[in-house]
Amino acid sequence: MEFIDERLLAYCEDHTSPEDELLLHITRETHAKVLMPRMLSGHLQGKVLELLVKMLQPQVILEIGTYTGYSGLCMARGLGANGKLITLDINDELEPMVRGFFECSGLASKIDYRLGNALDIIPTLEDRFDMVFIDADKANYNKYYELVIERVNPGGIILADNVLWSGKVLVGPSQKIDKDTQALLDYNRMVQEDPRVENVLLPIRDGLMMARKL
C-alpha cells in the first residue's frame, strides 16, 4: 500500500502535524485487536481528510465504512459548529470499541454512527451531502457512487480510498484480474468518464480518488 521509499514516507510523516494520543491509541488498539489493521486510514491520509474538511467546511459528510473510527474522527475534527458526520458500517462487533473512541474524542454529538448495509441505509437518509468518503467493500464502490452522486451538492466532493489497490490496477495483457481489482478498475474508469464531476487520482497511501461535483 505504500508506494514511496520508507525513508521518504517517514520524512513526510515527520513533516506532517502529529497524531494526538487518541489517534495513536486507536492505531494501537486496532493493530492489537482487529483483523486487517492495514485498513486504517493512518497518519498522512487522516490529516489530509481533516484539512480537506477544514478547508471545505461541509455541513454534512457521509462516510461509507467506519472500521475503527480513525478516518471518521479526523473528518469530524474539521467540522464547523453545525456540521455533522454520518458514518456507516456493517460490522457490529466493532461497535463498542468505535463508540468508545467517539465518546473519548468529545465529538460524539457531531457523529451519527449507524450499523447495517450501506446500500440499504443510504436511500433512507434525508440529507444532502457536501462530502462523501467511500472506504468499504470494493465490489460495491460503483453502487455507492451512484446512490450518492445526485445528492451531493454542487461543489461537494466524493472521495474513494484504495483506488490503486497496492498497484494491482496496473494490469498486464495476460494477467488474471481478481474481482476487487476489477471493481476498482471499473470505478476509476466510471469517475474518469462521468461528465458530472472533475476528478484527480492522488497517490496518497493506497490511492485516493477525489471527484468534485460540477
CATH assignment of the domain containing 22: 3.40.50.150
Whole-prediction pTM value? 0.97
**HSE-up (13 A, CA, CB side) for residue 142:** 15
Assigned domain for 119 exists:
yes
Read off the amino acid at residue 23. Answer: L
Tell me how many domains the chain contains: 1
Cα-based torsion angle of the residue sequence 83, 88, 89, 93 in order, rounded to the nearest 10 degrees? 60
**HSE-up (13 A, CA, CB side) for residue 17:** 10
84 touches 60 (CB < 8 A): yes
214 touches 11 (CB < 8 A): no
Residue 103 has pLDDT above 80, yes or no: yes
**Averaged over 10-35, what is the pLDDT?**
96
pLDDT band for 24, please (50, 70, 90 cuts): very high
* Residues of the domain holding 62: 6-213
* CB neighbour class for 142 (10 Å; exposed up to 12, middle 13-18, buried from 19): middle
Assigned domain for 1 exists:
no
Assigned domain for 65 exists:
yes
| pLDDT computed for residue 4 by the predictor | 82
Assigned domain for 182 exists:
yes
Cβ neighbours around 93 below 10 Å, total: 8
pLDDT band for 172, please (50, 70, 90 cuts): confident
Q: What is the pLDDT of residues 73-82, one digit of tens each?
A: 999 999 999 9
74 touches 46 (CB < 8 A): yes
